[in-house]
Amino acid sequence: MTRDSLTLIGLTLIAAFSGCSSNPDVETPTTSESSSSGTKYLLSSAPADPRDVIAVRESAENDQDVVVIGRIGGGTDPWVEDMAAFTLVDRSLAACTDIPGDNCPTPWDYCCVTDQLPGATTFVKVVDDQGQIVPTGARELLGVSELQTVVIKGKARKDADGNVTVLASGIYIDPTNPGQVKHADAHDHDHGESPEANDDTNLEADQQQ
């Protein structure tokens, strides 16, 4: 099993131990600003003919150019610290905020559909001109947040288990979907936490392969 597949499995395990709650403290954030170094990765218009995550997982070949659309999420913490990487979820899956009456404070973990996540997520790594992952967190670099819809242009890396990582060269942020963040006062949400799920050493090892 490759490092990318281990990373995806780890991120999925965060959500697997999650449970929805009735906490009402969820709010829509103000759109974040990207860093000056991140603007070169941001696209001013959406690439043509984007495909959803599940379709890309099913049909993409290794090293194939792809355009994939999805929502950022798939775990309580879908980011990798100090690296421009995150998980992307197929738009067919319902986040907690898509379910009437559900007030989960971390709706991007998709805790109500964890059984569907393994086949409906892909891992995105923003890479530079040398193919190396950018060593800045995606939120800071790109100004993105949980549950935002983004269109990713890049190359697919597919392992023997069907897990797909997209090496992103360009990102379009859907301005109609600003995403959602946890309110500062959110509490009492019993989500399991895996300290190794977002271990950036996995990504560092990938760069050396």
CATH number of 116's domain: 2.40.50.200
From CA 47, how far away is CA 125, in angstroms rounded? 18
pLDDT at residue 162, rounded to an integer = 84
Give 104-156 pLDDT, tens digit per residue. Answer: 999 999 999 999 999 999 999 999 999 999 999 999 999 999 999 999 999 99
In a domain, 39, yes or no: yes
From CA 125, how far away is CA 168, in angstroms rounded? 6
* Span 8-23, average pLDDT: 42
Give 115-126 pLDDT, tens digit per residue. Answer: 999 999 999 999
Instruction: State pTM to two decimals.
Output: 0.74
In a domain, 126, yes or no: yes
Range of the domain at 10: 3-16+35-182
Please tell me the total count of domains within the chain.
Answer: 1
Instruction: Give Cα 70 distance to the centre of its chain.
Output: 8
Contacts of residue 82, Cβ cutoff 8 Å, sequence gap at least 6? 135, 136, 137, 200
From CA 115, how far away is CA 96, in angstroms rounded? 14
* Span 11-27, average pLDDT: 42
Per-residue pLDDT for 7 more than 70?
Answer: no
With residue 28 as reference, give the H or E element that holds it.
none
Burial letters 124-141, b for 16+ CB under 10 A, else e: bbbbeeeeebbebbbbbb
In a domain, 136, yes or no: yes
